[in-house]
Amino acid sequence: MTIKLILAAAALTGGAALNAATLSVATAVQSKPDASSPVIAVLPAGADMPTLSDKAGAAPPGWVAVDMAGPFQGYVRNKDLTKQLDILPGSSIYLSPKEDTVPFATYEKGDKADITGLHGKWTQINLQKSLVGYIQADAAASVSTAPVAAAPAPAPAPEPSGPTSVAPAPQPPTDDAGLSKLFEGTLTGTRTLLMPKKPFDWQIVDADGKRVAYLDLSKLLLTDQIENYTGHAVVVLGYLESVKNSSDLVIHAEGLRLK
């Protein structure tokens, strides 16, 4: 079946026939109808054909426009973040934290994103947004409406004939040192008239008033007075370390905003 016949059938049936089909080969979805544009997703063989998109107008010859649901992992430059860790509208979003890469999306007003890490001059995000992607027409033509056969069930393992030793269950990997994460709590000061000076002037506490960790705010350039955040629930981006010669923890803050 040629791509022209497929698109004609899709036009007559609202795209239902093509959308219900499955891809017979692994298919790249690109950000633009250009073979050199970033690949925003790779659909495996057997995956459903994405919904045909009408958001970007008619695709150029040789391409099919499809709707792709997020989230998408990407990177923005740190300079495109406000001090409250909000992404500025109009910021470019890249697939990797490199200056020589081409952006695959633009952050627009009303979009949502979660910060998942820091990489030098770049901030890693999960972009909660649907995008229009493009599939080359020959890949769109290689769809199948036949059901995908289920993989045969594996044969049961033979019963052991004698005593065996049980291997220990794998343990989850430990967090990498210096990895930036998000922490939540209520910001309070540590200095009081009746208590000696603490190693840090600020901390976040939980709902019971118990310290979660001290806060090292030396890297922040807050335009507002930090006292304006006192007593409020906050979200802190930073990395966690142990306080020297103590069982306490400290978050070296790289961003702070009200929750």
The span from the CA of 134 to the CA of 65, in Å, is 5
At 37, list the tokens. 């544009």
pLDDT value of residue 20? 53
Residue 228 gets which letter from DSSP?
A: G
Q: pTM score, two decimals?
A: 0.51
What DSSP state is assigned to residue 141?
H
Count Cβ atoms below 10 Å from residue 83 Cβ, excluding itself.
Answer: 13
Give the chain's length: 259
Q: How confident is the model at residue 93 (pLDDT cuts 50, 70, 90)?
A: very high
Confidence check: pLDDT of 148 > 50: no
148 residue type, one letter: V
pLDDT at 209: 87
Per-residue pLDDT, averaged over 110-127, amounts to 85
Residue 174 is predicted with a pLDDT of 42
